[in-house]
């Protein structure tokens, strides 16, 4: 390898180093963006999870009321006729069923929203990990090229010393 070849390799290496440094900056920028997306989604996911728990609690309460109403169907002393009692209880049962169905629909909607946000979060985390992998690979390439350039500089210096 001649000195001109070594100087050319050094010049090519610094141009490549600049190119890789630009790529590194781009990957770091992408990582920052993805981290920002994760931070933006996380509070929404926490809110949706809390809302899901709240709706589940309401559903459990409504189910308990429904069970209590079924238990009360055997109490005939409150009403003067069986028909009067059955009419009242049927109305209560239907009202409670409607409340349970509404709560279940609300819970299903919140659960679906939470699942969508969780999927979005997983996708964002995957993109972040991919960008970090690209960053590590770029850094490894830069370090390897830097080592090669350093070795060539040492070789140039040695050859220059030999010439003297």
- The string of pLDDT tens digits covering residues 43-96 is 887 888 888 888 888 888 888 887 777 666 555 556 777 788 788 889 989 999
Classify residue 41 by its DSSP letter: H
pLDDT for the residue 3 = 64
Angle, helices 3-72 vs 82-163, to 10°: value is 170
List, in order, residues 6 or more apart from 102 with CB less than 8 Å away. Answer: none
- Which domains, ranges and CATH numbers included, belong to the chain? 3-163 (1.10.287.2610)
Residue 98: Cβ-neighbour burial (10 angstroms; 0-12, 13-18, 19+): exposed
Note the pLDDT of residue 74.
59
Q: What is the mean pLDDT of residues 142-146?
A: 86
Q: DSSP string of 22-40?
A: HHHHHHHHHHHHHHHHHHH
Q: What is the distance between the alpha carbons of residues 33 and 44, in angstroms, rounded to a whole number?
A: 18
| Residue 76: strand, helix, or coil | coil
Greatest CA span in the chain, whole angstroms?
123
| Token pair recorded at residue 60 | 């459990």
């Amino acid at each position: 390898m001649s000195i001109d070849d070594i100087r050319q390799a050094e010049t090519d290496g610094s141009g490549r180093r600049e190119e890789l440094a630009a790529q590194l900056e781009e990957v770091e920028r992408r990582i920052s963006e993805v981290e920002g997306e994760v931070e933006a989604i996380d509070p929404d996911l926490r809110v949706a999870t809390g809302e899901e728990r709240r709706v589940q609690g309401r559903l459990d309460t409504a189910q308990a009321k429904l069970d209590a109403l079924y238990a009360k169907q055997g109490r005939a002393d409150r009403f003067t006729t069986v028909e009067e009692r059955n009419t009242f209880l049927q109305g209560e049962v239907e009202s409670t069923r409607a409340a349970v169905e509404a709560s279940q629909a609300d819970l299903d909607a919140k659960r679906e929203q939470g699942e969508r946000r969780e999927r979005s979060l997983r996708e964002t985390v995957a993109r972040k990990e991919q960008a970090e992998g690209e960053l590590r690979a770029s850094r490894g390439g830069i370090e390897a090229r830097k080592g090669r350039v350093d070795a060539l500089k040492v070789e140039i210096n040695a050859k220059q010393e030999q010439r003297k």
